[in-house]
């Protein structure tokens, strides 16, 4: 049996085809009208996200651009990242002129050490920072656990829900915790449109500045070609916005519920699967198996024709080559990266395929135990 690493969309093929047909009609409409940017579908996507999360929303070309625009609009504050972060977020902060720092993540619970985070925030203020931002992500669950404490320490929270759309923490949906929120719509994410991103805030001044930055920094109150902010061509296309809106209307909730069902089946049958803290209700985005040797497991699963998406992160963000060793190592996050592998976990994974994966994992574990 061949098990693919990932297939997008819910299991209902009739629904997928129906949504594809409707999307095709919308793309034809967009083409015939010639309104490719900042039209009806961008506006309806933004409005739908605003209704869902209660924050003013901008759809943009990528989550990276959203992050840069947000941090610029906030005045380039000091930013603290979990060691398990994607490098593009850190690069966006650096492009925005922000000093950056990092805190390690305990792989056993996927939470951040509270004392380490508290010390990092205090240190930034002692060094003269006017504002300190904690860039919270779903993978580092401590970003949610410490929201109240962060507020007490005076830290602003930017919540990245690229991995966590639809997940719940303490009964509240991801996206409802942060002062500001960013998210990616890249095709592999739980809520996708092929590419693009969105940013949400309740701060009117920050919103207006980001809105200008999305169009090169253009200030329409001063004239059509007058720039008052440093921005870029950060607009989402109407076709991408339409894809996101269609998925939000018809498929994402169903797809995530089916992913959760697969994850629960793995959890019931595989004792070495990573277990989220009790206060977290995951969305099924990843099913991470704790292993002794990532490469060994990847090879063994490949021998059995089981595809894997790899790891949540291959290495801590501080060890990405692009930073040339500028940041200190994060040993707890490194241990997590070296000792987990992500099993296939998606809505279109059949029960037979799930059982095949489960039996393969048990077989490999037995072979390791007998070696």
Mean pLDDT of the chain: 88
Query: Of 219, 250, 281, which residue sits at a domain end?
Result: 250
On the question of pLDDT at 131 being above 90, the answer is no
- Whether residue 308 lies inside any domain: the answer is yes
Q: Which residue has the higher pLDDT, 12 or 141?
A: 12
Q: In the prediction, which pLDDT does 326 show?
A: 86
- Whether residue 50 lies inside any domain: the answer is yes
On the question of pLDDT at 248 being above 50, the answer is yes
What domain range is 325 assigned to?
A: 253-370
- Whether residue 5 lies inside any domain: the answer is no
On the question of pLDDT at 140 being above 50, the answer is no
Same domain, 265 and 243: no
Same domain, 164 and 192: yes
- Residues in contact with 152: Cβ distance below 8 Å, sequence separation at least 6, in sequence order: none
Same domain, 91 and 27: yes
User: At which residue do the structure tokens 């205090």 appear?
Assistant: 122
- Whether residue 131 lies inside any domain: the answer is yes
Same domain, 231 and 302: no
Domain CATH for 64: 3.40.640.10
Same domain, 206 and 293: no
Query: Of 250, 272, 298, which residue sits at a domain end?
Result: 250
70-85 pLDDT tens trace: 999 999 998 888 888 8
Same domain, 181 and 219: yes
| Least confident interval from 21-35, 103-117, 198-212, 335-349 | 103-117
Query: Of 226, 250, 274, which residue sits at a domain end?
Result: 250
pLDDT class of 144 with cuts at 50, 70, 90: low
- Whether residue 1 lies inside any domain: the answer is no
Q: What whole-number percentage of the chain has pLDDT above 70? A: 89
Same domain, 224 and 265: no
DSSP string, 15-80: HHHHHHHHHHHHHHHHHHHT--BSSHHHHHHHHHHHHHHSSEEEEESBHHHHHHHHHHHTTS-EEE
- Whether residue 261 lies inside any domain: the answer is yes
- Whether residue 134 lies inside any domain: the answer is yes
Q: In degrees rounded to 5, what are phi and psi of residue 318?
A: -65, -20
**Separation between Cα atoms, residue 251 and residue 243, nearest integer Å:** 11
271-327 pLDDT tens trace: 998 877 777 788 899 899 999 899 999 999 999 999 998 888 889 999 999 998 888
3-state secondary structure of 343: strand
Same domain, 297 and 262: yes
Question: First-to-last CA distance in the chain?
Answer: 26
The DSSP call for residue 83 is S
Domain CATH for 357: 3.90.1150.10
Domain total in the chain: 2
Q: What whole-number percentage of the chain has pLDDT above 90? A: 58
Contact 134, 244 (CB under 8 A): no
Same domain, 169 and 306: no
Same domain, 141 and 271: no
On the question of pLDDT at 101 being above 80, the answer is yes
Residue 342, beta-bridge partner list: 288, 310
- Whether residue 4 lies inside any domain: the answer is no
Same domain, 215 and 258: no
On the question of pLDDT at 190 being above 80, the answer is yes
Which of 114, 121, 157, 161 minimizes the C-alpha distance to 137? 161
Mean pLDDT of 230-236: 91
Same domain, 238 and 283: no
On the question of pLDDT at 122 being above 80, the answer is no
pLDDT class of 37 with cuts at 50, 70, 90: very high
């Amino acid at each position: 049996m061949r098990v693919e690493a990932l297939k997008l969309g819910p299991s209902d093929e009739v629904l997928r085809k129906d949504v594809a047909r409707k999307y095709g009609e919308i793309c034809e409409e967009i083409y015939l009208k010639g309104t490719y940017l900042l039209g009806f579908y961008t506006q309806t996507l933004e409005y739908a996200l605003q209704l869902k999360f209660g924050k003013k929303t901008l759809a943009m070309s990528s989550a990276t651009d959203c992050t840069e625009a947000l941090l610029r609009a906030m005045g380039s504050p000091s930013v603290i990242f979990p060691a398990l972060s994607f490098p593009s977020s850190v690069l966006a902060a650096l492009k925005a002129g922000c000093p950056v720092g990092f805190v390690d993540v305990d792989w056993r619970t996927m939470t951040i050490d509270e004392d380490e985070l508290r010390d990092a925030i205090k240190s930034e203020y002692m060094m003269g920072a006017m504002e300190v931002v904690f860039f919270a992500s779903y993978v580092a669950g401590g970003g949610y656990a410490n929201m109240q404490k962060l507020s007490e320490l005076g830290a602003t929270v930017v919540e990245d829900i690229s991995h966590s759309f639809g997940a719940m923490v303490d009964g509240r949906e991801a996206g409802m915790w942060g002062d500001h929120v960013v998210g990616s719509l890249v095709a592999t994410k739980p809520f996708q449109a092929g590419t693009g991103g969105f940013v949400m805030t309740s701060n009117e001044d920050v919103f207006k500045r980001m809105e200008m930055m999305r169009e090169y920094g253009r200030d329409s109150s001063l004239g059509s070609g007058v720039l008052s902010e440093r921005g870029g061509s950060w607009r989402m296309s109407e076709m991408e916005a339409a894809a996101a809106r269609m998925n939000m209307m018809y498929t994402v909730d169903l797809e995530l519920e089916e992913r959760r069902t697969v994850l629960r089946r793995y959890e019931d049958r595989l004792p070495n699967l990573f277990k989220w803290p009790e206060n977290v209700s995951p969305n099924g985005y990843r099913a991470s198996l704790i292993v002794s040797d990532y490469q060994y497991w990847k090879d063994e699963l490949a021998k059995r024709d089981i595809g894997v998406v790899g790891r949540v992160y291959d290495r801590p963000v501080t060890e990405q080559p692009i930073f040339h060793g500028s940041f200190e190592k994060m040993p707890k996050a490194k241990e997590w990266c070296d000792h987990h592998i992500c099993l296939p976990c998606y809505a279109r994974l059949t029960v037979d395929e799930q059982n095949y994966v489960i039996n393969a994992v048990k077989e490999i574990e037995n072979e390791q135990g007998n070696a």
